[in-house]
Amino acid sequence: MSNSDQSRPDRTAASAHGQYIGGRVIASGDGPAWRDLFVEVFSHNHVERPFLVPAVAEPLIVWVISGEARVDERDPGGEWLSSHVSVGDFFLTRTPSPYEMKWEAHGDMPFQVMHVYLGLPLFERVATEMLGKGAPPPTLRDVSGGRDETISNLLRLVHLELLRVRDQSPQFIQALAQSLAVHLLRTHVDDTQNSTVSNALPGFKLRRALSFMEAGLHEEFSLSHLAQEVGMSEFHFSRLFKKATGLSPSRFFIKRRLAKAQQLLLETDMSIIEIGMSVGYSSPSHFAQVFRQEIGMTPSEYRRR
């Protein structure tokens, strides 16, 4: 993280969020017509080095309107998670914590996105109407590089209204904002985050992920397959898995591989080469190297103990 990132706030208002995002604002929705939505269109730099993105209180949708890119996200100091995005893909976040981003655009088209911040009063009013008074406040799940035709259709209309400039309709914009809120609450509420334990992966999903890992120790690690197995985005799954276990999914996977190797070394007569292959290491030297790094001795030394 750069020195300039160290001076950035952890949280900021929607109206100030754009000053911390790389690129330039080429259109913005403000004034009375945009009471329930704050909208900015960015033309991004072709390549953006890692920077810290402050959290905002409002639900934020980032919608790609031009170009394509590889976008990487992570918790500060964590593992980078990549999404390949093109026109129509979107990101959804309402995280209370800042995170880091970087990207590299591909092709000749400019990489442009529209940021749509949904007003909190409207969002909370719609949530109360849909879920009832006294219901716990809904939490939206993170989406990275997803596709949702309803969101695309609504945001296409938002973008067209933004470009009208002169005769924008407050009633039409309010109707679009309300439709967005209803759709998010119908489709993108994170039930796991609205449970009593909201800061870690739910037990049943953790058990499913661990079983999937155990069955595939001989295969190459795949974060996308793990996240798909439990029905979550890679970014969100990785965050909650680490909160639940204290380790990133990839580190946990390595630990499980070596735990299985230790068991086989002590309980079977399998050769070290066979054991290495059974836990996913086709190269004996690589298996020995990783084993020594994690356990503190070679496989043969471990077996003799």
What's residue 4's pLDDT? 52
Strands 37-43 and 24-29 turn out to be: antiparallel
Identify which of 126, 154, 125 has the alpha carbon closest to the alpha carbon of residue 61.
Answer: 154
What's residue 117's pLDDT? 95
Distances (CA, A) of 200 to 79, 185, 236: 17, 21, 10
User: What domains are there in the chain, each with its CATH number?
Assistant: 3-187 (2.60.120.810), 203-304 (1.10.10.60)
- Tracing tokens 């190797």 back to the chain, one arrives at 261
Contact in structure between 279 and 218 (CB atoms under 8 Å): yes
Beta-bridge partners for 28? 40
Token digits for 19?
């000053």
Hey, what's the torsion of the CAs at 172, 176, 179, 183, to 10 degrees? 170
What's residue 197's pLDDT? 39
Strands 81-85 and 68-74 turn out to be: antiparallel
Give pLDDT tens digits along the chain (305 positions): 444 555 788 899 888 898 898 889 999 987 778 989 999 999 999 999 999 999 998 999 999 999 999 999 998 888 888 889 999 999 999 878 899 999 999 999 999 999 999 999 999 999 999 888 777 778 888 888 889 999 999 999 999 999 987 788 999 999 999 999 999 999 988 765 444 334 567 777 888 899 999 999 999 999 999 999 988 888 888 988 888 888 899 999 999 999 999 999 988 999 999 999 999 999 999 999 999 998 889 999 999 87
What's residue 292's pLDDT? 92
What's residue 196's pLDDT? 39
pTM above 0.85, yes or no: no
